Structure 1
Amino acid sequence: MPKPSETYSTSDLSRKSGDIIAEALRHPVTITQRNKPRLVLLNIEDYQQLIRQADRRTVGTIETMPDELFAELENAVDAYAGEDEVGRS
């Protein structure tokens, strides 16, 4: 999916809504409020693609985690705990 390339303020949205919607049908458009990005307008096909990609995520448990990944997680937790104990000394 293309990256948002045009940015408009919420004031622009109220004044130029037709033009902004037409542009959003071609590629995502960022809407700012007080100079901060707040919204992205995108066409329905891009939105549906995002939803489909989100549905591909899986949920697992420690019991279903591959042994190699579990060992990596254990090592990271042990290292973090060791750093925490050194910090308390």
Structure 2
Amino acid sequence: MTSRNGYYTTSDLSRKSGDIIAEALRRPVTITQRNKPRLVLLNIDDYERLMRQSDRRSVGRLETMSDELFAEFEEAVDAYAQSDETSR
């Protein structure tokens, strides 16, 4: 069974779940509803890889940034601004 670029409708999911699951074991599969992507099915290895990658990311605020990191940030912004001015 081959889909259009790994996309199936929710109706396909109810009628062809075994085939869709088999494909999702090989590559991510998107489930659409009313022609809009709603769900993605992917194998556990891909899911765990994505979760490990997201664990390495963190959200911060300037107010909570260490002084050392803030100084590095300021230097990077200044260097970018200077390179932008010289390219004009």
TM-score, length-scaled by structure 2? 0.68
Deviation at 1:70, TM superposition (A): 3.7
The residue number in structure 1 matching 2:65 is 62
Deviation at 1:59, TM superposition (A): 4.4
* Count of aligned residue pairs for this structure pair: 70
Q: Which has the higher contact order (CA 8 A, sep 6+)?
A: 1
Q: Deviations along 1:23-67, whole A, 9 cap, x unmatched? A: 000000000000000000000000000000011113442335331
The residue number in structure 1 matching 2:29 is 29
> What letter is aligned with 2:70?
P
Segments of structure 1 that go 5 or more residues without pairing to the other structure are: 73-89
Distance of 1:18 and 1:39 partners within structure 2: 17
- For the residue of structure 2 that corresponds to 1:66, the secondary structure is helix
Residues 62 and 46 (structure 1), Cα distance of their counterparts in 2 relative to 1, 3 Å cut = same
Distance of 1:70 and 1:59 partners within structure 2: 18
**CA RMSD, aligned part only?**
2.2
Distance of 2:6 and 2:54 partners within structure 1: 25
Distance of 2:58 and 2:42 partners within structure 1: 26
Distance of 2:31 and 2:8 partners within structure 1: 5
Distance of 1:59 and 1:34 partners within structure 2: 34
